[in-house]
Chains A and B, each alone.
Chain A
Amino acid sequence: MTSFLFGRIVSMAISLLVASIIIFAILEILPGDPAQFMLGVNAQPDTLQALRTQLGLDQPVILRYFSWMAGMLHGDFGISYTYRSPVTELVLQRVAVSAPLALYALTLTILVAFPAGIIAAARRNSATDLTVMGATQIGVAVPNFWFAIILMWVFAVTLHWFSAGGFAGWNKGFFEGIKSLTLPAIALALPQASILARVMRSSLLDTLGEDYIRTARAKGLSQNKTLWRHAVRNALIPVLTIVGLQFSFLLAGAIIIENVFYLPGLGRLIFQGITQRDLITVKSVVMLLVFAVIFVNFLVEVAYVLIDPRLRHQR
């Protein structure tokens, strides 16, 4: 297990290094000069040159890559071109919204999807199964921004249970913070939960067809106990793969929902960064997201090994 962990961590570091080179290179190739963008079209050439020197844009590419990398290792992501404040600070403020939102949405996803998928599989072809499958079909099909608007209209505008948008801030207390993330989290979770419930159901149905399920029944276990004791854990591997992908999506892919609910999250930061050629912010946020994705996949792989003893010896 230790050598497995060590190997995974090494490969994670290599992936990050490769990703950093690719991200840096792509943003180098992209047209658009940040200094020009900051000063506008009518800027004087010498002012422009001075700003370029100040931002370090006149240094050779290799040097800029290494100073960017070295900075990141110290937690220094540089100064945002447009906000004129440290990127680290900006990112931390946004992560404080995006990470809890993603976790919240993922928790809801799992809390809904697992029971729904398991019940549907256990009562295959029954009315319950049909209902669950019908509901998830709709959940996958409905665009989540539209669902977000419906939620807002019902729970904020009509019932006044939640505010219609914005983030209360954690300094007002945990409950207030969570409350302002609730509607966005539900809107994010709906399509994800629908997908995950379907994956859970089909994975469980495959498992229920395995020979060892029949063996367990021949031992005298009832259908329900067989399901819980022998099927669910075996069905989890494909489900976990999807959960890993979904977390990455929830963290980075919430741009639309953040905009609908007017939340200051990473999605909006990166969106603004791109439109304003704030390349240093874009680079840093993308790098952070890559790290998050790779780290979550690492956790998923560790979970595989914990679930399935067969993988412990192969690695």
Chain B
Amino acid sequence: MSLLAIKNLTLGIGRTPILRDIDLEVDEGEILGIIGESGSGKSMTALSILRLLPHAAELGGSIRFEDMEIVGRSEAEMCSLRGNEIGMIFQEPMTALNPVKTIGDQVAETVMIHSGKSRAEARVIARETLNRVGLPEEQFPLGRYPHELSGGQRQRVVIAMAIALRPRLLIADEPTTALDVTTQAQILDLLKKLVNEDGMALIFITHDLAVVADLADRIAIMQQGEVVEQGETLSVFETMHHPYTKALFSASQHVPERKVHGVDLDRSHAVVRVNGMVRDYRLPRKSLFAAPGQFRAVNNVSFTIRRGENVGLVGESGCGKSTLTRALLALERMQGGHVEVDGVVLAEDAANSRDIRRKMQVVFQDPYGSFNPRHKVERLVAEPFHLLDDAPQGADRRHAIEAALEEVGLLASDAHKFIHEFSGGQRQRIAIARALIIKPSLIILDEAVSALDVSIRAQILDLLTDLSDRLGISFLFISHDLSVVRSITDRVMVMQRGEIIEEGETESVFANPQHPYTQKLVAASPSVEHVLAARRQRQAT
């Protein structure tokens, strides 16, 4: 008998059905990967197991944990199960810990709730557990507060809280999505180690096929509240019975096709030339009279982007890529170097920043937060017109808005709608239309596809490639996701600690990275095919 057996599980919130006839099983020591896009019900399945659902939720069917039925159990009994027999870790380590309690107390709390041990005894166990998850006492005493730790370290604390009592089942809901690739690799290794040592079962929820392909013994693919396919990992990837599995797989592998002979361009023309850019930040004063410290976020960075060229900028969080973007857009002043856009040099005091900004536009990561919800699409898209001295009026303005919307695959009539009427992918199209409308020379895409599901992401990448082919726009594509950068850019720059440590043709940098840091990055973010090939080899031997 399996450790956990879910049968005909249904879940509705109000009258909306969320989950339909879910059947899943996990055995001790087994890793089950659940894959799906946003809204597929994968998180709700996990929360159903712990019964941490919204108030109006109604569960049907059966969830058996060993010989205990979870559906219909009392809340008190569920409390004694959570954290004790079943642990759970979540996506966002930055907010998953209570900011006003020390990490020691937070881990010890799990122990105290269930074992009735004293605080002192619980803290001994907390110490051991923190050591186990790779937070040794010398650097991470129990008295540390969450804000003193990085994202990866905080996720280790969350893991320690979940495994302190050595639960039989651990549920991990996108535990590495918010982390950098190298940190992700470390956390995945840690989870694997814990499963091996404790023999616990792990349910690993993710949207990232490469991660599950490497980690999971079996996988289940969910779509719109149903499990459409499940089985042993390799065989699911090999057979791909369900059309959705195929679609998901191909979307994650998607490489937009470039038409090299699109428009006739002077491809040697430099759109942007950055020379020796330096950006320093003032640190807060240590004491009232001490001089404030300095932090150099961008250190002597130089690069050129040519017309029609797609350039990638990769690096982990804190490497300075966002700072570089802001300085490039003349949103922040540089402390050294100069920026030249289409032959216009950005003045020292940013006095001519309007001239510079009309040649550059930006698309940000969050398609939900980057629009004013009270404005209609028409007004949102036309916003950059204020950068022009002779902005089109009346019918011209309307035509320009409609043309920009059609350019990104939306309808002219969408101009009269509000932003909440659009999905995440559509919003990102609107953001691109907003950038396109004043025909800039360069569009900066700051993690512009990171928040999108793979199938939507594939469409947006196609759109971007098409725009660059047809209109000869250059893109600066900033991302922490190496596979996306690899699929869409011509040239790539790798940034670490404020410096560009390697740059070159995208394919050659990825195939043959020179700098040790680039090598580490590339190794930490393998493609699905790579992982599957390695797995097959392991199985054969």
Residues of A within 8 A of B (CB): 3, 6-7, 10, 210-212, 214-223, 229-230, 233-234, 307-310, 313-314
Contacts and interface: CB of A to CB of B under 8 A. Distances in A.
A218 B147 contact: no
Contacts, number: 79
A220 B100 contact: no
A310 B147 contact: yes
18 contacts: A3-B287, A212-B98, A214-B90, A215-B161, A216-B98, A216-B109, A218-B87, A219-B113, A220-B81, A220-B82, A220-B113, A221-B79, A221-B113, A222-B75, A222-B76, A223-B75, A309-B99, A313-B148
B96 interface: yes
A234 B99 contact: yes
B511 interface: no
* Most chain A beta-carbon contacts within 10 A, residue among B75, B92, B96, B98: B98
Contact of A234 (B79, B80, B96, B100): B100
B367 interface: no
A11 B524 CA distance: 50
Interface string B478-495: 000000000000000000
B119 to A, nearest CB: 13
B158 interface: yes
Interface SS of chain A: helix, strand, loop or mixed? helix
A144 B148 CA distance: 47
Interface string B152-171: 00000010011000000000
Contacts of B82: 217-220
A217 B52 contact: yes
B88 interface: yes
A156 B75 CA distance: 50
A219 B87 CA distance: 7
Contacts of A214: 52, 90, 96
A45 B147 CA distance: 72
Contacts of B161: 215, 219
Nearest to B162: A218
B120 interface: no
A10 B75 contact: no
A210 B92 CA distance: 11
Interface in B235-256: none
B41 to A, nearest CB: 18
Given A211-B95, A220-B84, A307 B284 contact: no
A217 B81 CA distance: 11
A166 to B, nearest CB: 46
A215 B94 CA distance: 12
* Most chain B beta-carbon contacts within 10 A, residue among A7, A214, A314: A214
B90 A219 contact: no
A212 B114 contact: no
Contacts of B83: 218-220
Contacts of A216: 98, 109
A109 B534 CA distance: 67
B145 A309 contact: yes
Contacts of A308: 99-100
Interface residues of B, number: 34
Given A211-B95, A214-B90, 17 more contacts: A6-B288, A211-B92, A214-B52, A215-B97, A216-B98, A217-B82, A218-B83, A218-B87, A218-B88, A218-B90, A219-B161, A220-B113, A233-B100, A234-B99, A309-B100, A309-B145, A310-B99
Contacts of B50: 218
B347 to A, nearest CB: 34
A297 to B, nearest CB: 19
B361 interface: no
Nearest to A223: B75
Contact of A220 (B92, B114, B158): B114
B110 interface: yes
A222 B109 CA distance: 13
Nearest to B97: A212
A10 B288 contact: yes
Contacts of B113: 219-221
Contacts of B287: 3
Contacts of A314: 284
A308 B100 CA distance: 5
A4 to B, nearest CB: 9
Contact of A212 (B76, B88, B95, B148): B95
Contacts of A221: 79, 109, 113
Contacts of B101: 230
B169 to A, nearest CB: 12
A189 B92 CA distance: 42
Contact of A222 (B79, B90, B95): B79
Nearest to A216: B98
Contacts of A210: 95
A215 B114 contact: no
Contacts of A211: 90, 92, 95-96
Nearest to A218: B88
A101 B92 CA distance: 47
A212 B98 CA distance: 5
A308 B79 CA distance: 28
**Nearest 5 A-B pairs (CB), nearest first?**
A220-B83, A219-B83, A211-B95, A220-B82, A218-B88
A19 B99 CA distance: 37
Nearest to B78: A220
A102 to B, nearest CB: 29
Contacts of B84: 220
* Most chain B beta-carbon contacts within 10 A, residue among A3, A218, A230: A218
Interface string B84-122: 100110101001111111000000011001100000000
A234 B95 CA distance: 13
Contact of A7 (B87, B95, B148, B288): B288
* Most chain B beta-carbon contacts within 10 A, residue among A210, A216, A222: A216
Contacts of A220: 79-84, 110, 113-114
A210 to B, nearest CB: 6
Contacts of B52: 214, 217-218
A217 B147 CA distance: 21
A215 B147 contact: no
B449 to A, nearest CB: 24
A237 to B, nearest CB: 10
